[in-house]
């Protein structure tokens, strides 16, 4: 019954090794999907390449379905796993700042690391910038950020519960919306790229 | 331009990433992430240089209390090391392992690098404030149906769509 | 390319439908109570134990009694009946406590301040199919009124009422009545270990 490490079934060393192996899978897939190409990433905002949207939702839905079913069939105890606490104000504001970061920098932390190690110089600079940003944030934390970061506390909020529907229904709705979106963006992408070859 | 043929099918890649996320939860009880690893690097660096300061400062204190264990030894860091390895392997197989600068056709390389730096700084700040980046907070958050993940999703992508117009020269 | 896309998205949709169906089927036990069952359950009259009866059992050191205090931990610690275990109402369906409540051998009595929480607990456990569960009629409030501070019957009351009153006075002394919110004078450790006790043939195994 999972999760194995928090429940003591496997030791710390093995846990770290598994983290490494899972990372290999993640990194491989990100690169294989083309996330090291900054123009492909930005494409989601301009309509010429929706790879970000497709991968993102496919991953989230797969994980949501998988975890729900595993929890239901007793293979995992979802309450013992990491569950982020919701702080809606800093997440919203932080998200907006990240949106700027994404459009200006063309990466997000995970993809920038993948790209940097495969030779993309712009990504290396991005990673450098991110570290500078974190340093800056850290040293001004108490004066500028701390209160904001702890505001809007909602605890561990499940979105289905918050909306008043069951988990299963939410997952189904999310998947249907995603499927419709996939269909729509595929057509949009075709229309946009037919007009102009973006040479991705 | 047929380069797209060497990329994996997006949906398949997404599903497989989802599978790895499930594995991460099953084995380690953790979500996949990235900004946390960068934070660990910063925390470790400051801690190694000036432990006394790190113990007191609010940003660092939580991670540096245990004097035996360095904050760099976290699951997320090992995961990121794996990510690095995996990315290199995939790029090597596909022939994408080379030095280059990715940029839109209408700006210079120099501009691109400056923007990359600015973008990075913004993301560094934003991910700390938002308590995670796209992989960790949003993708893993959505996977467990956490409200915070969806708020992050709307903030990053919704926000992005609103301001995309103003930055189009960088990409189009 | 297009064909595979449809395949993958289709897989996701199938998975989503599967979760939805599984989730709805899951809702049975507590949420979907059939109305006719409910009427039958509610109509049962043998679900109460009076305060007198409970007092009698406690005073005779009845070993088959298992008292469950449904209130919060703080209330429990402030005052509780001797030998009671604290399982707050919201934990009542927690599998951890299942064996304490789902009993073949012991008589489980729920109590709270009035009959309110215990009636709810009783409904829940009855719906889950547990037997041998009772509600302390009137709860602790009634316990205080009848046992700890029994009121003298009027002169015109019947003989049985007077007899009952004598019994109650004795009980009040036994339970340290007088100040109802005071600490329980006799504080014995809970007698029931959280293990499922099965009816076993006489002489079978020793504990």
Q: pLDDT at position C172, please?
A: 84
Interchain CB contact of C16 with B (< 8 Å): no
Q: How many beta-carbon contacts under 8 Å exist across A and B? A: 530
Separation of alpha carbons C162 and C168, rounded Å: 10
Mean pLDDT calculated for residue range C47-56: 83
- Residues in chain C within 8 Å Cβ distance of B11: 4-5, 8-9, 12
Residues 23-82, chain C: which have Cβ within 8 Å of A? 23-24, 26-27
pLDDT > 60? residue B127: yes
Mean pLDDT of chain C: 73
Residues 6+ positions from C24 with CB-CB distance below 8 Å? A166, A168
Mean pLDDT of A41-50: 92
Residue C105 CA to its chain's centroid (Å)? 15
pLDDT digits 0-9 by tens, B72-98: 888 999 999 999 999 999 999 998 888
Cβ-nearest to A59 among B14, B133, B148: B14
Residue A96: its pLDDT value, please?
95
Cβ atoms of residues C100 and C84 within 8 Å: no
Measuring CA to CA, which residue among A198, A129, A104 is closest to residue B168?
A: A104
- Which pLDDT score is estimated for C207? 25
pLDDT at C26: 66
DSSP string, C167-197: HHHHHHHHTTTTSTTS--SS-PPPS--SSPP
pLDDT score for C44: 65
User: Distance between CA atoms of B72 and B94, rounded to whole angstroms?
Assistant: 32
> Look-up: residue for tokens 């919203």?
A92
Residues contacting C191, CB < 8 A, separation 6+ = C63, C65, C66, C83
- Average of pLDDT values for B118-144? 91
Cα torsion C50, C191, C98, C52 to 10°: value is 0
- Token pair 């950020």 is at which residue? A145
How many Å lie between the alpha carbon of B9 and the closest alpha carbon of chain C? 8
The pLDDT of residue A135:
92
Q: Does residue C1 carry a pLDDT above 60?
A: no
Tokens of residue A97, six digits: 């700042």
What are the tokens at B127? Answer: 């991910």
Which whole number is the average pLDDT over C91-112? Answer: 76
CA Rg, chain A, in Å?
20
Q: Is the peptide bond before A184 cis (omega within 30 degrees of 0)?
A: no
Whether the per-residue pLDDT at B8 is higher than 90: the answer is yes
Site from B6, B11, B17 to mutate, C interface, most C CB atoms within 10 angstroms: B11
C-proximal residues of A, 89-118, CB under 8 Å: none
Q: What percent of chain A has pLDDT over 90?
A: 68
Query: Phi, psi (5° rounding) for residue A19?
Result: -60, -40
Which ipTM value was assigned to this complex?
0.93
Decide if B57 contacts A100 (C-beta within 8 A). Answer: no
Among A61, A99, A178, A190, which would you mutate to test the B interface (most chain B Cβ atoms within 10 Å of its Cβ)? A99
Q: Does A172 touch chain C (CB under 8 A)?
A: yes
- Tokens read off for A138: 């850290």
Q: For position C30, what pLDDT does the model report?
A: 45
Q: What is the 8-class DSSP label of residue B58?
A: H
Average pLDDT of the segment spanning A54-78? 92
Lowest model confidence (mean pLDDT) among A82-91, B39-48, C138-147: C138-147
User: Are B11 and C1 an interchain contact pair (Cβ–Cβ within 8 Å)?
Assistant: no
CA distance B50 to chain A (A): 13
- A75-116 pLDDT, tens digit each: 888 888 888 889 999 999 999 999 999 999 999 999 999 999
| Shortest Cα–Cα distance, C36 to chain A (Å) | 26
Write out the H or E segment, with its range, that includes residue C40.
Answer: helix C35-43
A178 touches chain C (CB under 8 A): yes
Q: Which has more confidence, C112 or B119?
A: B119
Q: Rounded to an integer, what distance in angstroms lies between the CA atom of residue C87 and that of residue C101?
A: 10
DSSP class of residue B139 equals: I
Work out the mean pLDDT of chain B and round it to a whole number: 89
How is B27-56 classified by DSSP, letter by letter?
HHS----SHHHHHHHHHHHHHHH-HHHHHH
- Mutation for testing the A interface, residue in B124, B159, B162, B163 having most A CBs under 10 Å: B124
Q: Determine the pLDDT at residue C36.
A: 65
d(CA C172, CA C170): 5
Q: Are C108 and C133 in contact (CB under 8 A)?
A: yes
Specify the residue for token string 């889950």.
Answer: C128
Q: Tell me: the pLDDT tens digits for B54-71?
A: 888 888 888 787 777 788
Q: How far apart are CA B143 and CA B87, in angstroms?
A: 23
Per-residue pLDDT tens digits for C167-183: 888 888 888 765 444 44
For B46, which residue in chain A has the nearest alpha carbon? A135
* Beta carbons of A31 and B97 less than 8 Å apart: no
Q: Range with the lowest mean pLDDT among B7-16, C30-39, C43-52, C84-93?
A: C30-39
A67, A72, A95, A152: best to mutate for the B interface, most B CBs within 10 A: A95
Residue of A nearest to C27 (CA): A166
Most confident range (mean pLDDT) of A50-59, B50-59, C163-172 is: A50-59
For residue A132, the chain B residue with the least C-alpha distance is B121
A14 vs C114: which has the higher pLDDT: A14
In a domain, C153, yes or no: yes
Q: Are C189 and C86 in contact (CB under 8 A)?
A: no
Q: For chain C, how many structural domains are there in total?
A: 1
pLDDT in tens, C2-35: 788 899 999 999 999 999 998 887 654 444 445 6
Assign B4 a pLDDT band (cuts: 50, 70, 90): low
What are C127's two structure tokens? 């719906």
pLDDT value at position C136?
A: 85
pLDDT at A65 over 80: yes
Kindly write down the DSSP assignment for every residue of chain A, as one continuous string.
-B-TTTTTSS-HHHHHHHHHHHHHHHHHHHHHHTTT-HHHHHHHHHTS--HHHHHHHHHHHHHHHHHHHHHHTTSB-GGGS--PPEEHHHHHHHHHHHHHHHHHH---HHHHHHHHHTTBHHHHHHHHHHHHHHHHHHHTIIIIIHHHHT-SEEES-BHHHHHTS-HHHHHHHHHHHHHHHHHHHHHHHHHHHHH-----
Express as a percent the part of chain A with pLDDT over 70: 100
Task: State residue C169's pLDDT score.
Answer: 85
Nearest to A172 among C5, C19, C26 (CB): C19
* Chain B residue with minimum CA distance to A186: B10
pLDDT at B117 over 90: yes
Place of tokens 């996330």: A35
Task: Give the CA dihedral B145, B13, A31, B4, nearest 10 degrees.
Answer: -130
3-state secondary structure of C188: coil
> What are the tens digits of pLDDT across the range A133-163?
999 999 998 888 888 888 888 888 899 989 9
Measured between alpha carbons, how far is residue B30 from residues A23, A25, A114, B25, C44 in Å? 12, 15, 20, 5, 49
Q: How many CA atoms lie within 13 A of B168 on its CB side?
A: 9
Q: Is C12–A178 a contact, with Cβ atoms under 8 angstroms apart?
A: yes
Model pLDDT, residue A174: 95
Q: Looking at residues A33-43, what average pLDDT do you find? A: 92
Q: What is the CATH number of the domain that holds C170?
A: 3.40.250.10
pLDDT of residue C43: 67
- From CA C199, how far away is CA A34, in angstroms rounded? 66
Looking at residue C181, the DSSP 8-state letter turns out to be T
Going from N- to C-terminal start, the domains of chain B cover 99-172
CA atoms within 13 A on the CB side of C194: 13
User: Measured between alpha carbons, how far is C65 from C108 in angstroms, rounded to an integer?
Assistant: 6
**Confidence label for C187 from pLDDT (cuts 50, 70 and 90):** very low
Share of chain C above pLDDT 70, in %: 72
The distance from CA A92 to its chain's CA centroid, rounded to whole angstroms, is 15
CB atoms C20 and A171 under 8 Å: yes
Rounded CA-CA distance B58/C200 in Å is 61
| B4, closest residue in chain C (CA to CA) | C1
Chain A residues 19-58 within an 8 A CB cutoff of chain C: 58
């Amino acid at each position: 019954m999972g999760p194995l490490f928090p429940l003591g079934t496997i030791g710390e060393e093995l846990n770290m090794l598994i983290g490494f192996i899972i990372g290999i899978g993640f990194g491989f897939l990100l690169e294989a999907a083309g996330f090291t190409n900054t123009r492909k990433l930005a494409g989601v905002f301009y309509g010429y390449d929706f790879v970000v949207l497709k991968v993102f939702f496919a991953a989230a839905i797969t994980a949501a379905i998988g975890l729900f079913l595993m929890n239901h069939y007793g293979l995992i105890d979802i309450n013992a796993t990491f569950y982020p606490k919701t702080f809606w104000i800093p997440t919203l504001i932080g998200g907006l700042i990240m949106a700027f970061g994404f459009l200006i920098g063309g990466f997000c932390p995970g993809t920038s690391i993948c790209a940097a190690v495969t030779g993309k110089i712009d990504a290396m600079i991005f990673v450098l910038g991110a570290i500078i940003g974190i340093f800056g944030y850290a040293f001004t934390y108490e004066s500028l950020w701390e209160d904001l970061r702890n505001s809007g506390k909602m605890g561990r909020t499940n979105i289905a519960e918050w909306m008043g529907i069951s988990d299963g229904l939410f997952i189904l709705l999310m998947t249907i919306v995603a499927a419709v979106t996939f269909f729509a963006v595929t057509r949009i992408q075709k229309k946009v790229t037919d007009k102009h070859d973006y040479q991705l | 331009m047929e380069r797209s043929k060497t990329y994996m099918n997006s949906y398949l890649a997404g599903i497989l990433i989802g599978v790895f996320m499930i594995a991460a939860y099953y084995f380690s009880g953790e979500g996949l992430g990235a900004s946390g690893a960068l934070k660990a690097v910063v925390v470790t660096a400051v801690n190694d240089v000036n432990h006394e300061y790190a113990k007191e400062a609010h940003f660092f204190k939580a991670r540096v209390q245990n004097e035996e264990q360095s904050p760099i030894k976290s699951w997320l860091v090992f995961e990121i090391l794996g990510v690095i390895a995996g990315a290199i392997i995939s790029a090597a197989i596909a022939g994408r392992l080379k030095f280059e600068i990715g940029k839109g056709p209408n700006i210079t390389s120099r501009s691109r690098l400056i923007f990359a730096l600015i973008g990075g700084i913004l993301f560094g700040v934003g991910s700390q404030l938002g308590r995670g980046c796209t992989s960790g907070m949003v993708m893993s958050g959505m996977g467990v149906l956490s409200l915070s993940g969806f708020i992050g999703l709307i903030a990053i992508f919704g926000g992005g769509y609103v301001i995309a117009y103003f930055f189009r020269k960088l990409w189009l | 390319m297009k064909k595979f896309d449809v395949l993958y998205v289709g897989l996701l949709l199938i998975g989503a439908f599967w979760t939805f169906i599984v989730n709805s089927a899951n809702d049975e036990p507590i949420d979907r109570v059939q109305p006719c069952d409910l009427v039958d359950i509610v109509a049962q009259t043998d679900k109460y134990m009076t305060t007198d009866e409970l007092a009698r059992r406690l005073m005779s050191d009845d070993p088959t009694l298992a008292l469950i205090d449904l209130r919060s931990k703080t209330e429990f610690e402030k005052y509780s009946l001797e030998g009671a275990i604290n399982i707050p109402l919201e934990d009542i369906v927690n599998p951890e406590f299942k064996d304490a409540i789902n009993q073949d051998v012991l008589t489980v009595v729920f109590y709270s301040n009035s009959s309110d929480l215990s009636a709810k607990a009783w409904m829940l456990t009855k719906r889950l199919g547990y037997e041998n569960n009772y509600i302390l009629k009137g709860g602790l409030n009634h316990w205080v009124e009848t046992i700890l501070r029994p009121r003298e019957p009027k002169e015109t009351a019947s003989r049985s009422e007077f007899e009952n009153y004598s019994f109650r006075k004795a009980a009040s002394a036994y339970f340290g009545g007088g100040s109802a919110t005071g600490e329980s004078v006799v504080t014995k450790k809970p007698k029931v270990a959280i293990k499922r006790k099965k009816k076993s043939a006489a002489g079978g195994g020793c504990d």
